[in-house]
Every structure is written in structure tokens, then in C-alpha cells.
Structure 1
Amino acid sequence: MTVTAKDLRFNISMLFDVLSKGEDVLITYRGKAKAKLISYTEPSNEEKTDSIFGMWQDREEDVDTMVRNMR
């Protein structure tokens, strides 16, 4: 859906309705595209893993020894 900046100001509730249906909204100002609103989806629990967790699991030596050798 494409809306103008004026529509954004005066019809924000309509835009939230459109976004809740999963549609994206392109905002124009003086006929030129300026911004795009995309609907938000909650990330699943599987995607919330910390990238550092399990970093050393494939190493033979423990972390303390590795850090001591690096110093």
C-alpha cells in the first residue's frame, strides 16, 4: 500500500490496520518514496540463542588454559 505523509498524519489507525494484516506501507512525500513501514513479527524462541553460547564446545582444552596461553 502507498500512502502520503498527510495520510500518515491523519489516518494512522488505518495504517496500523494494514500493518496488522501483514502488508507493507510505502510512505511518499511530494510524490517521492521516503520510507517503508513493514509489519513486525515476533522472533521464534529458536532464533533467540546467544551467538557466544557454546563457542568453546568443540575445543579440547579448557577456556582458562587457552586464555592463559594467549597472555
Structure 2
Amino acid sequence: MEVSAKELRRKTRLLLDTVERGQAVTITYRGRARARVVPMKKGPERAESVKQDELFGLWADRDDLVDPQAWVRTLRQSRYP
């Protein structure tokens, strides 16, 4: 199935239902294919594919983020007291 980026924004739920049924969806932007949404694997191979994702645990090796909640609180503080 091929849909435009505009249709993706407007009909996200329907497209996710399509993917859940096992069909891949190609997203186009200005007539050119830009991305592909495919069903996730089930079972233990799914967990392995998530662990191998580049963005999973992106900041896991940072020493300054021992307490992520405290870090977010400092970001949300006002600049001016």
C-alpha cells in the first residue's frame, strides 16, 4: 500500500490497522517514496530487534544522567527566579 504524508497525518489509525493486519505501507512525500512502515516481529526476535535499534538507550552511557528525573527538573526550572 502506498500513501502520501498528508494521508498519514489524517488517517494514522487506519494505516496502523493496515500494518497490524500484516501489510507494509510506503509513505510518499511529493510523489517520492520516503519511508516504509512494516509490522513488528512477534516473540523473542522482536525484543532483540528493539535492543539493536540505534536510538534505544541513546544516553545509557552518560555518567551525568544518573537521575533522569532530577535532570529534567533542572531543565524545566525558570531562568529567572
Give the TM bin, normalised by the shorter chain: 0.5 to 0.7
Considering only CA atoms, is the larger Rg found in Structure 1 or Structure 2? 1
The residue that corresponds to 2:27 in the other structure is: 27
Structure 1 gaps of 5+ residues are: 49-71
Query: Hey, what's the Cα distance between the residues in 1 that align with 2:29 and 2:5?
Result: 6
Query: Hey, what's the Cα distance between the residues in 2 that align with 1:3 and 1:30?
Result: 11
Structure 2 gaps of 5+ residues are: 49-81
Shift of residue 7, structure 1, vs aligned partner: 0.4
Q: TM-score, normalised by structure 2?
A: 0.52
Shift of residue 44, structure 1, vs aligned partner: 3.2
Letter of the structure 1 residue corresponding to residue 16 of structure 2:
F
Shift of residue 43, structure 1, vs aligned partner: 2.9
1:14 correspondence with 2:14:
yes
Identity %: 36
Query: Hey, what's the Cα distance between the residues in 2 that align with 1:40 and 1:34?
Result: 19
Matched residues, number: 47
Letter of the structure 2 residue corresponding to residue 30 of structure 1:
R
Query: Hey, what's the Cα distance between the residues in 2 that align with 1:43 and 1:35?
Result: 25
Provide the aligned C-alpha RMSD in A: 2.0
Task: Compare relative contact order (CA 8 Å, sep 6+) and give the higher one, 1 or 2.
Answer: 1
Query: Which segments of structure 1 move beyond 3 Å, counting only runs of 4 or more?
Result: none
Letter of the structure 1 residue corresponding to residue 40 of structure 2:
Y
* Structure 1 residues 6-64: Cα deviation after superposition (integer angstroms, max 9, x where no partner): 0000000111110110000000000000000011122337x86xxxxxxxxxxxxxxxx
